[in-house]
Amino acid sequence: MRLIVPLRGVIQGRGGLLVGSLIPCCLFYFLQLYLKRRRSPPDPPPRTNLFSRGNSIGRVRVSSRAVDVAKPTDSPYYIGLERVKADPYDRMSNRDGIIQLGLAESSLCFDLLQSWMSENLMESMMMQSDEGGFDISSIAMYKPFEGLLELRVAFADFMSRIMGGNVSFDPSNMVITAGGTPAIEVLAFCLADHGNAFLIPSPYYPGFDRDIKFRTGVELIPVHCRSSDNFTVTVSALEQALNQARKRGSRVSGILFSNPSNPVGNILSRETLHDILRFAQEKNIHVISDEIFAGSVYGDKEFVSMAEIAGSGEFDKSRVHIIYGLSKDLSIPGFRAGVIYSFHEDVVSAAKKLMRFSSVPVPVQRILISLLSDTRFIEEYMAAHRQRIREKHIRFVEGLKQLGIPCAESDGGLYCWVDMRSLLTSYSEKGELELFEKLLSVAKINATPGTACYCIEPGWFRCCFTALADEDIPVIMERIRQLAESSRS
Amino acid sequence: MRLIVPLRGVIQGRGGLLVGSLIPCCLFYFLQLYLKRRRSPPDPPPRTNLFSRGNSIGRVRVSSRAVDVAKPTDSPYYIGLERVKADPYDRMSNRDGIIQLGLAESSLCFDLLQSWMSENLMESMMMQSDEGGFDISSIAMYKPFEGLLELRVAFADFMSRIMGGNVSFDPSNMVITAGGTPAIEVLAFCLADHGNAFLIPSPYYPGFDRDIKFRTGVELIPVHCRSSDNFTVTVSALEQALNQARKRGSRVSGILFSNPSNPVGNILSRETLHDILRFAQEKNIHVISDEIFAGSVYGDKEFVSMAEIAGSGEFDKSRVHIIYGLSKDLSIPGFRAGVIYSFHEDVVSAAKKLMRFSSVPVPVQRILISLLSDTRFIEEYMAAHRQRIREKHIRFVEGLKQLGIPCAESDGGLYCWVDMRSLLTSYSEKGELELFEKLLSVAKINATPGTACYCIEPGWFRCCFTALADEDIPVIMERIRQLAESSRS
């Protein structure tokens, strides 16, 4: 019998089995360690255009995450916005330019805002000093990054007011952010670790990709909704998506959704909100409700905040987090004013500290305190805002209807979700992107295609209509009519 | 001869050596794999106060990074600021409160700012429409997140002006940020990947820890400077720190420093800047120069921007990045206005996109365009700003000198670096922290101890003096005198 083992002379006697196994294991372990050290930290992806100058040993590298962020986008949402920037339609000076239906902003009540600002701007920004003059220190100096208490009180009151008064907000659960965008990023950072995921009913707002994926490392898992349900999410779809995600090894930390939904514009019913929160509680995950269009509801359905469901006493509300802001309902995106409202004290406390990166300048806070506290103005503004969206919506949807183009049912938002399937040359993502390109370059219209929103049914487009003048609508309809005709011929 | 190996019956013949080693290795490898799967993804740290309610399976977890951020701080810098907030000194209403020497802000030229704002605020914010009225759309709507071109042009001119006109800035290399804080974070994100490090001469500004470590995952490696060099960094110290870091397996991506330095207040000479950039080029790493106090220079030494050295043609300037802002030189931290100036196109392009999280509201941008473009005001302001810091500095340092307390030599900044070694009961970090606590609770003064700035020599404190009224200085000196007396007795 001939037995060959490593270190032949050593392994003898009763310890032979143990030592004969241990020695190769140790050698193997140290080999692994050596290899690991050699390749750690991982090399960033190779860069092109390297050059050297002076005595440099090569061009300096930026981080691989910066390379990712700097890369040109392939999202039709951003491509469309860029194209408009290069050739924007103007009724007076550029009648052949691209008409913007891609950006959810509103100028419907600028007359009201303008007269308020003309009267109150100066006074709201500079508080009176004891001597009666302006007091610069009230706007110039450092203030708490999470927002002045007066502003949080005013915001809480305003949010309760636009949500129909059925829910109240506690200013101590509130953090003021420089727009809705950092509110979303900070919540993602706080609720999920790098590599974890959120479920998100799709079609969804294309900006979430940058908001969440740029820096937090949190994944978004679309939960596909269908036209047959008017794109409303169901618990069974959530359940299925969660199970699939877990099978793939993803750790799902929460559900993120917009209500009123963006891009569809429908409103989640009280029952659906209950179902979602019950589901989240069963699975022990978070719920993030983006309610930035809560005051832009123009249909007959009642808007219900997830904060109201959370406060019903039925649930552990610490898993519920609300995003809000003034970019849509007050039409002042230029003011960069958003809110994180969270029932979880650690989230509030971490978000407050993170606001060093995204705080609202004090002069703007002072304006907002005056604006939001002027309840007479706010009531008048909100009524006009809703009424004017409703009218513009009717006008826009009616125009499309006359072209044989229907829209999904909707009750809120600054947009409608347009069914352009009849204009597709092929019923596929490719066909949809071809139509997007034809809309941009032939009809000179920028509408956001469903594929940018992770919609699985081709042919749907989000069209924002609240920055349009009435006289622009016939221009748009005529452009679409011509496109439809040429593609049918 | 008795040889025992695993799987005795199998290992025979000439392949015995190989198989006899391979089998234990394989078993060991699969054991490792099994253990790794069991513990991955890593569990967040255990939480206290768990509870369940309804049918929840336990309290929902926030991310482990949020738990880290939410944790109470142990930095004396932030502890001091919190203590002042709870009991702030006020000449009229709270004469026994804590006097703030911990925050670098200035009210020295509020009279000038106030009169400018009173005259120009309204006009600067609301541009005239064609019909002659205010045009709300110029402040309310979405604008490029990286800052309006007019603002970048005005900033470039302003920066060149305060830096003595020896260097010019290209607005296309510039990104406007909501304060210096996000400028630092975004640069760290862009220049270093998670786990990489920056060298940073210490003592350094304690806020950098939160700016950089909260979210970017970049490490800061202090390069200790000594009182014998007036705390100025040397290339040999950088070299040594770099070598040590590399030995430990750290990947160093750059050098970060403040010039004028914070907390010491000294200015780096042209030669030192050359040396640092040459060193960075040899090592192929980045240079980040925080020049936020560039216009707050009151000594006789000339301030030189790293941008000037980079532009000399001697170096690959794409590795040079400048941080600037208006919180210190224009005394308007409440306005949250900062700048990233980078010679690397990928950094500029990534930073522009990341400004969705930290953009300056348009109304504030409009004010700043008017303010920075008003060159007559700016010249007058800057001259007064420097003159008044100089005077206050003399008054403050003289007061300390009469108590036998010297300061480091300094030429810029809103603070001085005070040598309180004579007041220590023991020459150690512990002794310094005891003095910090006595200053806070007995003398009722918040000064930032060197240990918060990673200074290795105990007994140094940063004292900010530019928010003090002249009549506060004798109060401070009297409080310190009493403390010194009681600790000597």
Pull the structure tokens for residue B271.
């030669």
All structural domains of chain B with their residue ranges? 76-110+378-488, 127-375
pLDDT of residue A3: 42
Q: Please answer yes or no on whether A21 and B14 come within 8 Å at the CB atom.
A: no
Q: Please answer yes or no on whether A126 and B140 come within 8 Å at the CB atom.
A: no
Residue of A nearest to B135 (CA): A114
Residue range B326-336, pLDDT digits in tens: 999 999 999 99
**A98, A221, A292, A473: the active-site residue:** A292
Closest to B363 (Cβ–Cβ): which among A278, A319, A334?
A334
**Residues A155, A174: contact at Cβ < 8 Å?**
yes
- Quick one: which H or E segment has residue A474? helix A472-488
Closest CA to A44 of A27, A11, A24, A67: A67
pLDDT of residue B20: 56
Give the Cα separation of B101 and B459 in Å (integer).
16
Chain B CB contacts of A110 under 8 Å are 136-137, 140
Give the Cα separation of B71 and B83 in Å (integer).
17
**Residues A354, A321: contact at Cβ < 8 Å?**
no
Tell me which amino acid residue A4 is.
I
Interface test with B, best of A1, A193, A242, A366 (most B CBs within 10 A): A193
Give the Cα separation of B26 and B22 in Å (integer).
6
Give the Cα separation of A355 and A377 in Å (integer).
29
ipTM: 0.87
Closest to A178 (Cβ–Cβ): which among B64, B251, B358?
B358
Pull the structure tokens for residue B463.
């004292």
Instruction: Indicate if the pLDDT at residue A46 is higher than 90.
Output: no
Q: Which residues does A169 contact at the CB level (< 8 Å), separation at least 6?
A: A155, A156, A159, A160, A307, A341
Residue of B nearest to A60 (CA): B284
Chain B CB contacts of A340 under 8 Å are none
Q: How many CB atoms lie within 10 A of CB A380?
A: 14
Q: How many CB atoms lie within 10 A of CB B31?
A: 11
Q: Domain B127-375 - what CATH class?
A: alpha beta
Chain A CB contacts of B361 under 8 Å are 178, 334-337, 360-361, 364
Instruction: Indicate if the pLDDT at residue A156 is higher than 50.
Output: yes
Instruction: Indicate if the pLDDT at residue B8 is higher than 50.
Output: no
Q: Please answer yes or no on whether A140 and B333 come within 8 Å at the CB atom.
A: yes
Pull the structure tokens for residue B51.
């509870």
Q: Please answer yes or no on whether B41 and A195 come within 8 Å at the CB atom.
A: yes
Chain A CB contacts of B114 under 8 Å are 133-136
Give the Cα separation of A284 and B59 in Å (integer).
7
Residue of B nearest to A208 (CA): B356
Please give the mean pLDDT across all residues of chain A. 90
Q: Which residues pair with B412 in a beta bridge?
A: B297
How far does the CA of residue B487 sit from the closest CA of chain A (Å)? 34
Give the Cα separation of B370 and B124 in Å (integer).
6
pLDDT of residue A164: 86
Residue range A298-356, pLDDT digits in tens: 988 999 999 999 999 999 999 999 999 999 999 999 999 999 999 999 999 999 999 99
Average pLDDT over every residue of B19-39: 56
Q: Please answer yes or no on whether B333 and A41 come within 8 Å at the CB atom.
A: no
Instruction: Check residue A302 and report its DSSP letter.
Output: P
Q: Please answer yes or no on whether B59 and A318 come within 8 Å at the CB atom.
A: yes
Instruction: Indicate if the pLDDT at residue A386 is higher than 80.
Output: yes
Q: Could you confirm whether A292 is annotated as catalytic?
A: yes
Cα angle A133, A138, A139; round to 5: 110
Give the Cα separation of A3 and B1 in Å (integer).
10
Percent of all residues in chain B with a pLDDT value above 70, rounded to a whole number: 87
- pLDDT confidence of A128, banded at 50, 70, 90? low
Chain A CB contacts of B353 under 8 Å are 69-70, 210, 214
Residue of A nearest to B312 (CA): A54
A128-374 has CATH 3.40.640.10 classification: yes
**Residues B367, B139: contact at Cβ < 8 Å?**
no
Find where tokens 């552990």 sit. Answer: A316
Residue range B46-70, pLDDT digits in tens: 333 333 333 445 689 999 999 999 9
Q: Which long-range contacts (CB under 8 A, 24 or more apart) does B64-72 make?
A: B64/A193, B65/A189, B65/A190, B65/A193, B65/A194, B65/B215, B66/A189, B66/A190, B66/A191, B66/A346, B66/A347, B66/A350, B67/A346, B67/A350, B69/A190, B69/A350, B69/A353, B69/A354, B69/B214, B70/A346, B70/A347, B70/A349, B70/A350, B70/A353
Closest to A117 (Cβ–Cβ): which among B8, B134, B193?
B134
Residue range A191-233, pLDDT digits in tens: 999 999 999 999 999 999 999 999 999 999 999 999 999 999 9
Pull the structure tokens for residue B136.
């709300």
- pLDDT confidence of B123, banded at 50, 70, 90? confident
Average pLDDT over every residue of A223-245: 96
Give the Cα separation of B95 and B77 in Å (integer).
23
Q: Please answer yes or no on whether B2 and A25 come within 8 Å at the CB atom.
A: no
3-state secondary structure of B155: helix
- Quick one: which H or E segment has residue B278? helix B270-283
Q: Please answer yes or no on whether A318 and B60 come within 8 Å at the CB atom.
A: yes
CA distances from A220 to A250, A257, B84, B134, B285 (A): 11, 11, 43, 43, 34
Q: What is the DSSP string of B424-460?
A: -SSSSHHHHHHHHHHHHHTS-EE-EEGGGGT-SSTTE
Q: Which residues does A443 contact at the CB level (< 8 Å), separation at least 6?
A: A479, A480, A482, A483
Q: Please answer yes or no on whether A117 and B107 come within 8 Å at the CB atom.
A: no
Cα angle B165, B169, B174; round to 5: 145
pLDDT of residue A6: 45
Burial class (CB in 10 A: 0-12, 13-18, 19+), B481: middle
CA distances from B262 to A171, A341, A457, B454 (A): 36, 36, 57, 12
Q: How many residues does chain A have?
A: 489
Q: Please answer yes or no on whether A12 and B24 come within 8 Å at the CB atom.
A: no
Closest to B20 (Cβ–Cβ): which among A4, A27, A110?
A4
Closest to A60 (Cβ–Cβ): which among B58, B194, B284?
B284
Q: Please answer yes or no on whether A62 and B284 come within 8 Å at the CB atom.
A: no
Q: Which residues pair with A254 in a beta bridge?
A: A198, A286
Closest to A215 (Cβ–Cβ): which among B29, B189, B364?
B189
Chain A CB contacts of B70 under 8 Å are 346-347, 349-350, 353
pLDDT of residue A346: 97
Q: How many CB atoms lie within 10 A of CB A7?
A: 10
Pull the structure tokens for residue A106.
């509103």
Instruction: Indicate if the pLDDT at residue B276 is higher than 90.
Output: yes
Closest to A142 (Cβ–Cβ): which among B105, B318, B349?
B105
Alpha helix segments (H runs only) across A126-204:
137-140, 149-162, 180-191
Closest CA to A443 of A102, A97, A105: A97
Interface test with B, best of A1, A3, A371 (most B CBs within 10 A): A3
**Residues B159, B330: contact at Cβ < 8 Å?**
no
**Residues B215, A189: contact at Cβ < 8 Å?**
yes
Q: Which residues does A42 contact at the CB level (< 8 Å), separation at least 6?
A: none
**How are the residues of chain A apportioned to helix, strand and coil, as percentages rounded to the nearest 5?**
45, 15, 40
- pLDDT confidence of B43, banded at 50, 70, 90? very low
Give the Cα separation of A258 and A266 in Å (integer).
10
Q: Which fold has domain B76-110+378-488?
A: Aspartate Aminotransferase, domain 1 (3.90.1150)
pLDDT of residue B159: 97
First CA to last CA distance, chain A: 88
Give the Cα separation of A288 and A476 in Å (integer).
36
Give the Cα separation of A13 and A7 in Å (integer).
14
pLDDT of residue B15: 52
Alpha helix segments (H runs only) across A248-374:
270-283, 306-310, 345-354, 362-373
Pull the structure tokens for residue B120.
């120009």
Pull the structure tokens for residue B62.
């926030």
pLDDT of residue B44: 37
**Residues A283, A240: contact at Cβ < 8 Å?**
no
Closest CA to B19 of A188, A34, A24, A486: A24
Residue range A257-291, pLDDT digits in tens: 999 999 999 999 999 999 999 999 999 999 999 99
Q: Please answer yes or no on whether B332 and A133 come within 8 Å at the CB atom.
A: no
Alpha helix segments (H runs only) across A312-462:
345-354, 362-373, 375-402, 429-441
Find where tokens 């290209």 sit. Answer: B170
pLDDT of residue B31: 64
How far does the CA of residue B55 sit from the closest CA of chain A (Å)? 6
Chain B CB contacts of A353 under 8 Å are 69-70, 210, 214
Instruction: Indicate if the pLDDT at residue B28 is higher than 90.
Output: no
Give me the helix-helix angle, B110-125 and B375-402, nearest 10°.
Answer: 150
**Residues B338, B178: contact at Cβ < 8 Å?**
yes
pLDDT of residue B10: 43
How far does the CA of residue A394 sit from the closest CA of chain B (Å)? 24
Alpha helix segments (H runs only) across B103-206:
110-125, 137-140, 149-162, 180-191
Residue of B nearest to A3 (CA): B12
Chain B CB contacts of A133 under 8 Å are 114, 118
- pLDDT confidence of B382, banded at 50, 70, 90? very high
Give the Cα separation of B202 and B210 in Å (integer).
16
Chain centre to alpha carbon of residue B78: 13
Q: Please answer yes or no on whether A347 and B62 come within 8 Å at the CB atom.
A: yes
Chain B CB contacts of A50 under 8 Å are none
**Residues B267, B164: contact at Cβ < 8 Å?**
no
Q: Please answer yes or no on whether A334 and B140 come within 8 Å at the CB atom.
A: yes
Q: Could you confirm whether A29 is annotated as catalytic?
A: no
In sign, the C-alpha dihedral spanning B147, B149, B150, B155 is positive
Residue of B nearest to A41 (CA): B251
Q: Please answer yes or no on whether A363 and B363 come within 8 Å at the CB atom.
A: yes
Order across the sheet with B174-177: list the strands. B174-177, B338-342, B320-325, B286-290, B252-258, B197-202, B219-224
pLDDT of residue B42: 39
Closest to B25 (Cβ–Cβ): which among A24, A65, A353?
A24
Chain B CB contacts of A127 under 8 Å are none
The residues of B carrying an active-site annotation are 205, 290, 292, 328
Chain B CB contacts of A129 under 8 Å are none
